[in-house]
Structure formats: structure tokens, C-alpha cells
Amino acid sequence: MNSWEAYRKAFTEYLQIEKNASAYTIEFYLKDLSVYFDFLKQEAISDVSLVDYQTVRIFLAFLYEQRLSRRSVSRKISSLRSFYKFLQREGEVDSNPFLQITLPKAEHPVPGFLYEEEMEKLFSVSDTTTILGQRNQAILELVYATGIRVSECTGLLLEDVDFYLGTMLVRGKGKKERYLPFGRFAEEALEKYISDGRKQLLQKSKSDTSFIFLNARGKPLTARGVRLILNKLVEEAALTVDLHPHKLRHTFATHMLNEGADLRVVQELLGHEHLSSTQIYTHVTKDRLREIYMNSHPRANNRDG
């Protein structure tokens, strides 16, 4: 190969034929390659085999100068590792200079959550004398009580809920199942909806289904439907927050940990495979942090004296 275009063409064929990569994946690989080739031209480097560890360090600095996120930088480095692995196999280079570079750690922004006062406003919005009000209250109470994902919520069946034990069977990611407890508020809201509102909704569709949550036409509710319901509740509560179903999951986890729940218990409840996924919720509010400090440190209370 003796030109940038030849490298690009050969790598594309490798991704398509041997890696069976999707068109979307290939597009990103080629974008990353173009950025890299432009950099080499700027540095007057005429061949990929002339690149060494120092060159890669300069390239890394070049990427950060573009104010790219850590995630974008990591993807580009990963793409170029694959490119040089391909070149090694083809005998174009002797070593892979990108193997020596440590990928930047991904940024984990603190998940947004609602304060307890905001949740109380949401709980007071629905008119539970109406069919849809009962359903909306049941969804809100259940998602906050258990931290289930919206897909897990819409997938709940009547036979999954055990009111006697106060538990429900949830089907999570990868078809993994787990049993979750729920409290009195969620139990009351769910029982009221199932015994009243749901029966009336079911009559509208003139068909039978085991799915618990139904739309206004009596058909199984979709994830999009849940999002619309939550946004409507926020609007009616006059809250200036963006409430997506996952934020209720974040709120559940944050409130549990703020009240002293064990991290591994919360991991189990959320259905996280790895503890690191749960650790992003270990932030606490400033007020809660101060409260814990004032109540725990032997010499903290003197400030008020």
C-alpha cells in the first residue's frame, strides 16, 4: 500500500468481509481514520510505519486540543488500535504504537434525581377517582418504590405480582429475573388500579391481556406511553424538571443510599450485574452530607453552641 486511500480501502474491506461490521460501525471507523490521516499529513509523516509512541502522544494532545470528550478520544484510540492490528497482520508495520496508550477513563456524570419534596408534589397530582388517574398513580408509585426500568414496568403481568408477600417478579436485561419487594403506598395504588381502572380500560379493547398497564384504548402500554404520562404529571405539578422514567430509577437508588441502604442491596434491587454500575449513585445531597456529619462527628455539634 502506498497511499492513504489504499489504506482506507483495504481497511474497509477487512471490516466488511472479515469483521462483518455494520455500515454504521464502518462509518465511525473511517471518520476516525480520516482525522488521523489529516494529523499525519500536518506532521509531514508520509507513512503509517513511521509512527512511534511519541507521535501517538502528540496525536492524543491534538485530540484534546479539539475539546473532544473523553469518550470520543477513547473511541478514536480504539479505532486506531484496530487499524494498526490490521496493518500488523498485513505486514505493513512491525508493531502497534497505540497499544502503549492507556484509554482515558470514561466520564460518569452524576445521574439526575428528584428531591423528596418534588416526589411528594408528583404523588399529589393524579385524580385517583378517574381510570387514567389510578393507572398513572400506580405507575409512579411502583417505579419509585422499586426502581424498575420502564421496559420492566411495561412488561409486568398480573401473575407477576404477589400482594400477599408484597413482591413482584421482574424480567430484566438479558432475560434475567429478580423478585422485588414493594411497600404499602405502591400496593394500595396498584390494587386500586387493577380492581377498578384496569378492568374498565380492558372493556374498551374488548380483548384480554395479562399486561398490567394499559393505554386509554385498553391495549398494553408502551415505553413511550409511560414517558408521556410522566411528562404530563410534571406539567400538572408545575415542576421545572425533565422527568424521564430513568430519573425515577435514579431517584429510587439515591434515596435508598441516602437513607443508609447497603450498596450491594441496591445493586440487587436495580438488577445491576456489576457493582460499579451502582456506585454512580453514591453521591449524596449537600444537605444530607451535612446532616450525617453533624450527627456523626463527636465535635460537630459545638458549631450551634
Q: What pLDDT digit, counting tens, does each position of 13-57 carry?
A: 999 998 888 888 899 999 999 999 999 988 888 888 889 888 898
Separation CA 49–CA 53 (nearest Å): 12
Catalytic residue among 149, 198, 250, 255: 149
- Identify the active-site residue in 76, 250, 255, 272: 272
27 and 140: one domain?
no
Cα–Cα distance between 252 and 281 in angstroms, integer? Answer: 10
- Lowest-pLDDT choice from 3-7, 8-12, 162-166: 3-7
93 lies in the same domain as 120: no
The greatest distance separating any two alpha carbons of the chain, rounded to the nearest whole angstrom, comes to: 79
**Given a cut of 90, is residue 221 above it in pLDDT?**
yes
Q: Are residues 187 and 130 in contact, defined by beta-carbon separation less than 8 angstroms? A: no
Domain-embedded: residue 275: yes
- Residue 274 annotated to the active site: no
Task: Pick the last residue of a domain from 100, 129, 161.
Answer: 100
Residue 156 has pLDDT above 60, yes or no: yes
Under DSSP, the state recorded for 197 is: I
**Per-residue confidence band for 304, with pLDDT thresholds at 50, 70 and 90:** very low
Spatial CA neighbour of 51 closest among 41, 61, 63, 65: 41
305 within some domain? no
Catalytic entry in 173, 184, 224, 264: 173
Q: Is 106 contained in some domain? A: no
Catalytic residue (choose from 135, 198, 247, 249): 249
Cell readout for 198 is: 384496569
* Residue 249 annotated among the catalytic residues of the structure: yes
Q: What is the CATH number of the domain that holds 200?
A: 1.10.443.10
> Containing domain of residue 71, as a range?
4-100
Tell me which range, 7-16, 130-139, 198-207, 280-289, is most confidently predicted by mean pLDDT.
130-139
- Check if 281 is active-site: yes
Give the chain's domain count: 2
In a domain, 262, yes or no: yes
- Predicted pLDDT at 108: 58
Task: Verify whether residue 272 is a known catalytic residue.
Answer: yes
Q: Which of 14, 6, 89, 102 is nearest to 47 (CA)?
A: 6
Determine the average pLDDT of the residues in 125-141: 95
- pLDDT tens, 163-181? 999 999 999 877 789 999 9
154 and 17: one domain?
A: no
**Nearest of 226, 264, 238, 136 to residue 189 by alpha carbon:** 136
Q: What is the mean pLDDT of residues 112-116?
A: 85
- The span from the CA of 212 to the CA of 202, in Å, is 10
Cα–Cα distance for residue pair 297/301, rounded to 1 Å: 8
CATH of the domain at 19: 1.10.150.130
> Looking at the domain assignment, is residue 51 inside a domain?
yes
Extended beta strands in 105-259, E state: 161-162, 167-171, 177-181
From residue 86, how far is each of 14, 80, 200, 297 by CA, in Å?
8, 10, 62, 58
> Which residue among the candidates 178, 219, 244, 246 is catalytic per the annotation?
246
- 149 as an active site residue: the answer is yes
Query: What one-letter code names the amino acid at 82?
Result: S
Per-residue pLDDT at 287: 65
Q: If pLDDT is split at 50, 70 and 90, which confidence band does 210 have?
A: very high
Reported confidence tier of residue 128, pLDDT bands at 50, 70, 90: very high
Structural contact between residues 150 and 245, judged by C-beta atoms closer than 8 angstroms: yes
Report yes or no on 182 lying in a domain.
yes
User: Radius of gyration over alpha carbons of the chain, in Å?
Assistant: 27
19 and 163 both lie in a single domain: no
DSSP three-state, residue 242: coil
CA distances from 184 to 22, 166, 258 (A): 48, 8, 21
Whole-number mean pLDDT of the chain? Answer: 87
Asked if 90 and 206 touch (Cβ cutoff 8 Å), the reply is no
Q: Under 8 Å CB-to-CB from 282, ≥6 apart: which residues?
A: 257, 263
CA distance 36 to 39: 5
In the predicted structure, residue 107 carries a pLDDT above the cut 60: no
Residue 218 has pLDDT above 80, yes or no: yes
Sign of CA dihedral 135, 140, 142, 148: positive
Burial 223-254 (b: 16+ CB within 10 A, else e): eebbeebbeebbeebebeeebebebbbbbbbb
